[in-house]
Amino acid sequence: MAKNIIVGQSGGPTSVINSSLAGVFKIAKELGADKIYGMRNGIEGLLNEQYIDMTDYIKNDMDVEILKRTPSAFLGSCRFKLPTVEKSPETYDKIIAILRKMDIQHFFYIGGNDSMDTIKQLSTYAKDKNITDITFMGVPKTIDNDLAVTDHTPGYGSAAKYIGATLKEIIRDALVQPINIVTIVEIMGRNAGWLAAAAALAKGDDCEGVDLIYLPELAFDIDKFLTKIEEISKTKKQIVVAVSEGIKDANGTYICEAAAQGELMVDSFGHKALSGTATALSRLVANKFGCKTRPIEFSTIQRCASHIGSLTDVNEAFLIGGQAVKAAFDGETGKVGIYNRISNKPYLMNTSIYDVNAIANVEKTVPKEWIINDGTYLSQEAIDYMKPLIQGEALPYMVDGLPRHIKL
């Protein structure tokens, strides 16, 4: 029997969320899917019946390959929290009615822990209402690497590679003048320090590495930070510090929040928009020591830097998209694809699926024992964990000197 499927992308973009989309598309085609629909802007768009037929845009293997290397979310994304069934049963009735109208048998959602809440709610609703003709599967994604159960997430390796590589360049630049300068680099990741931890990758036999790394897993003490800067400056003129956007003081107040004038914006999942930590700390350092400082916020650049994507990440993201399709076609529902690491050296992993209830809305943080040097650096174990994920070059298709992307 022909099967129609629908796939959506949700949450913040990454370099490889389209690679997972390509995996869903390619494997669904191979397994004989009839129509392959894409939600415009995730579940929010679907509620307004906004979708495309993906075969109108992805016509051949070359399009699949370019999609794999196109950053951000080809279908558009959303940060939309479904109301609970108790609050709004009509929302769920509406989604099921739309899916039935489109004759959908399999629903896929590519996203992070918040987006997996959509799979959790829909699959639970379907189970409770004895809806057995539609399956709901999650495909993991997030640069933050904060999903529970899975060894790592698609998107993390590429963002980590960008962070390691760009910090090497920042360090070369910072060391050029014989003056006192403190460069502070702010890295995304919200309440998990996985991405900021990737700053440790910059260090090697051709690079001095950053001097200090601060993760949100430990309370940030401003006085201790200033003392560290003072100590390092006794032997070194140029200091480079990496900080997570989500560092908080002992009272749980974000450093950027304390420095902000006015309230931070909050999204539908209750997350505060974090930005300004590097600027706030730079100001403190400049005021205290009277030296030159330079705040750098990687911001969205680190999410979609697919020109320096990790081939491992691109390939794994494709694999996990395809795996979700295979599992759904085998009748699985309410599950999310996960990576299982078998070994570091050589790097070996496989994929499987896991109950969405264990993954939705849960934030996995960096193990505290990986944070060393009085909370200012990462252990060798952390580096060994990250290193395999940044391997291989996912070189873009270059056209007229620039990477070629595919867009709606």
**Spatial distance between the Cα atoms of 28 and 23, rounded to a whole number of angstroms:** 8
- The CB-of-197 to ligand F6P minimum distance in angstroms stands at 13
- Would you tell me which residues interact with ligand F6P (CB under 6 A)? 11-12, 79, 112, 142-144, 188-190, 245, 273-274, 303
Whichever of 194 and 385 has its CB closer to ligand F6P, that residue is 194
As a whole number of angstroms, the longest Cα–Cα distance in the chain is: 73
Q: Which listed residue (117, 144, 146, 313) is catalytic? A: 144
**Spatial distance between the Cα atoms of 23 and 6, rounded to a whole number of angstroms:** 13
- The CB-of-119 to ligand F6P minimum distance in angstroms stands at 17
Whichever of 13 and 322 has its CB closer to ligand F6P, that residue is 13
Beta-carbon neighbour count of residue 63 at 10 Å?
A: 17
> Which residues neighbour 365 within 8 Å (Cβ) at sequence distance 6 or greater?
146, 191, 192, 193, 216, 217
> Which residues neighbour 214 within 8 Å (Cβ) at sequence distance 6 or greater?
196, 220, 225, 241, 242, 243, 244, 247, 375, 376
> Which residues neighbour 20 within 8 Å (Cβ) at sequence distance 6 or greater?
110, 139, 141, 154, 317, 318, 320, 321
Is the Cβ–Cβ distance between 343 and 154 less than 8 Å? Answer: no
- The CB-of-373 to ligand F6P minimum distance in angstroms stands at 24
- 131: DSSP letter: -
Whichever of 28 and 274 has its CB closer to ligand F6P, that residue is 274
- The CB-of-77 to ligand F6P minimum distance in angstroms stands at 9
Whichever of 8 and 12 has its CB closer to ligand F6P, that residue is 12
Whichever of 143 and 394 has its CB closer to ligand F6P, that residue is 143
- The CB-of-14 to ligand F6P minimum distance in angstroms stands at 8
Do the bridges between strand 51-53 and strand 33-39 make them parallel or antiparallel, or are there none, so unpaired?
Answer: antiparallel
Tell me the backbone φ, ψ of residue 123, rounded to 5 degrees.
-70, -35
- The CB-of-297 to ligand F6P minimum distance in angstroms stands at 11
The string over 159-188, giving b where at least 16 C-beta atoms fall within 10 Å of a residue's C-beta and e elsewhere, is bbbbbbbbbbebbeebeeeeeebbbbbbbb
Whichever of 232 and 264 has its CB closer to ligand F6P, that residue is 264
- The CB-of-111 to ligand F6P minimum distance in angstroms stands at 9
Active site residue 144: yes
**Spatial distance between the Cα atoms of 140 and 144, rounded to a whole number of angstroms:** 11
- 82: DSSP letter: P
Whichever of 163 and 182 has its CB closer to ligand F6P, that residue is 163
Catalytic center residues: 144
